[in-house]
Amino acid sequence: MNRADDYSSVMARRAEIMRRSVGIDYGSFSTGKLAFDYERMMAETGYPLDEVKRIQRESNVGETPLIELKNLTALVRKISEPGLGARIFVKDEANNPARSFKDRRASLSVHNALMKGYPGVVAATSGNYGAAVASQAARKNLSSIIVQEVFDSRGFEQPEIAEKGRACEAYGSEVLQLSVGPELFYVFLLVLEETGFFNASLYTPFSIAGIETLGTEIVEQTRERTGRDPDAIISTHAGGGITTGTARGVLKAGSPGTRIIGASVNLQGLHMASDRDFNRKSFTTGHTGFGFPFAVWPDRSDVPRNAARVLRYLDRYVTVSQGSVFYITEALAQLEGLERGPAGNTSLTAAFSLARTMGEDQVIVVNETEYTGAGKHPYAQIAFARKMGVEVFRGDPSKEKPGENIVIPVKPRQVAAGEVDLDRLRESYVKNACKSLGDEREVTPADLDFICDDARLDRERALGLLAENGVVLSA
């Protein structure tokens, strides 16, 4: 029977396409109108930690070095008050096969696809994850297709995304490159339906379980190197996968006192799906255009239930400017001899700022690095920004206006992280949850418990926010 392949028809079939392509019956975990059993979903569809470690070891993934950034720490202490300036460490995830932490999540997804008999894997991604999926698929002799959002309507391609497309092709993947807009998800669904491939989504339990080893390794290596647990781990926040997976691994390693801090590049005012704004940002991930929406409504993802749920785990959330990240990228290269890409340097920029408020005996860990080169390099990004009409100059980074200019600091003390109000994000989460109910104006006790867990709210506050949105608790 011929299927209609127009946009509306494909979107109408998306739930069934997703179910077949992931192999998870998400409905079986539902416990209320809003609620689902998150931990049961992770337990039943993920893999035990020891099994994840075995799979990753066989794929040459993980067990990356933890590097102390002694020169950056010395610089922090030089510009801090006496007694302040935490030791800064970084987990060098650029040592993975495709040279980012995304190999951890890809390794488990590709393994699962192979075990379940899928003929190949598909991923919709414009960044490191595509290269990781292509790399892991090549190791398993599976076909892979990567769907990328690359161009604006004028045909200009973002250099970092183009760089990742080349990497995917180098690993033998077929790469479909599209312009910004709703066609990305439409084409993604068509490819899944036509090929019968596995949906190697960033947001399945397999993907998140693959990152838990990052958290356990950080705790174990920090204990070995310093004799204590990390006081804080800084994680670049976009869709929430690395933050969620790292935090879960930290808890499994028995370090509940470690603070989990998210960091995003401040791109407020730019829309991630806007044709005009698409190429007026120098960071394709790890920015507020992803960080805020995914924090306040995780289930906007390409699977029915997103396993990356950062409000459960974030203790603090900060932003940094584009210019500050470029500055710290150069500082890392010139002071530590490590040339690394923008995503990990976003969290490193936050760590550089926050370390100034922590004691010299404390330890702050940046949980990733990624490779750099060609389109990912700051010089390529700055040149492209100027081509797009964005002004670049040295000055006070607090004056930076995303989409209009990039202000690179003059002095290291100008690198400063701005605070994000987590309570406001929790309020937005509840508002979005209430919107998803449609005309329904009641929630069950199971829904209330879920909201409290998912947004880290106490019962009284959650009830108050529900009431503000016209929703009450059923008897």
Predicted pLDDT at 162? 87
- CB-based contacts of 322, cutoff 8 Å, min separation 6: 265, 266, 267, 281, 282, 283, 400, 402, 406
Q: What is the pLDDT of residue 180?
A: 82
> Structurally, what CATH architecture does the domain formed by 62-96+206-419 represent?
3-Layer(aba) Sandwich (3.40)
Which fold, 7-54+100-205? Rossmann fold (3.40.50)
Instruction: Report the predicted TM-score, pTM, of the whole model to 2 decimal places.
Output: 0.96
Residue 199 has pLDDT above 90, yes or no: yes
> Which pLDDT belongs to residue 250?
98
263 phi-psi bin (left φ>0, alpha ψ -120 to 50, beta other): beta
Q: Which of 131, 70, 78 is nearest to 337 (CA)?
A: 70
Given this model, what pLDDT does residue 3 score? Answer: 83
pLDDT tens digits for range 421-449: 999 999 999 999 999 999 999 999 999 99
Band of residue 118 on the pLDDT scale cut at 50, 70, 90: very high
Spatial contact of 41 and 305, defined as CB atoms under 8 Å apart: yes
CA distance 221 to 73: 18
Listed range (101-115, 145-159, 396-410) with the worst mean pLDDT: 145-159
Q: What own/partner pairs with CB < 8 Å and gap ≥ 24 does 115-120 have?
A: 116/23, 116/198, 118/142, 118/196, 118/197, 118/198, 119/143, 119/195, 119/196, 119/197, 120/144, 120/145, 120/195, 120/197, 120/198
Summarised one tens digit per residue, pLDDT across range 252-311 is 999 999 999 999 999 998 887 788 888 889 888 899 999 999 999 999 988 999 999 999
Q: What percent of the chain has pLDDT over 70?
A: 100
| Both structure tokens of 255 | 């370090």
Please report the pLDDT score of residue 168 as a whole number. 95
pLDDT more than 90, % of the chain? 84
Interacting residues of 254 by C-beta distance below 8 A, sequence separation 6+: 219
Q: So what's the pLDDT on residue 152?
A: 85
**CB 146, CB 123: distance < 8 Å:** yes
Domain ranges across the chain: 7-54+100-205, 62-96+206-419, 422-473
Residue 117 has pLDDT above 70, yes or no: yes
Question: Averaged over 192-212, what is the pLDDT?
Answer: 96
Instruction: Identify the residue whose tokens are 């997804």.
Output: 109
Task: Report the alpha-carbon distance of residue 305 to residue 295 in Å, rounded.
Answer: 14
Return all residues near 222 (Cβ < 8 A) that are at least 6 apart.
66, 89, 228, 229, 230, 363, 365
Which pLDDT band holds residue 72 (cuts at 50, 70, 90)? very high
Residue 361: what residue type? D
Q: Of 263, 425, 298, 234, which Cα lies nearest the Cα of 36?
A: 298
Q: How far apart are CA 367 and CA 246, in angstroms?
A: 8
Instruction: Say yes or no to pLDDT of 354 above 60.
Output: yes
- Could you report the per-residue pLDDT of 13-44, keeping only the tens digit for each? 988 998 899 999 999 999 999 999 999 999 99
User: Given this model, what pLDDT does residue 364 score?
Assistant: 98
pLDDT category at 328 given cuts 50, 70, 90 is: very high
Contacts of 61 (CB under 8 A, 6+ apart): 96, 97, 103, 104, 107, 136
pLDDT higher than threshold 80 for residue 451:
yes
Fold match between 7-54+100-205 and 62-96+206-419? yes
Q: Write the pLDDT tens digit of every residue in 359-391.
A: 999 999 999 999 998 888 899 999 999 999 999
pLDDT for residue 375? 81
Between helix 445-455 and helix 459-468 the angle, nearest 10°, is 110
Give the pair of three-digit tokens for residue 25: 């019956």
Rounded to whole angstroms, the Cα distance separating 386 from 451 reads 44
pLDDT at residue 1 tops 80:
no
Q: Mean pLDDT, to the nearest integer, of 464-471?
A: 97
Count of all residues that appear for the chain in the document: 475
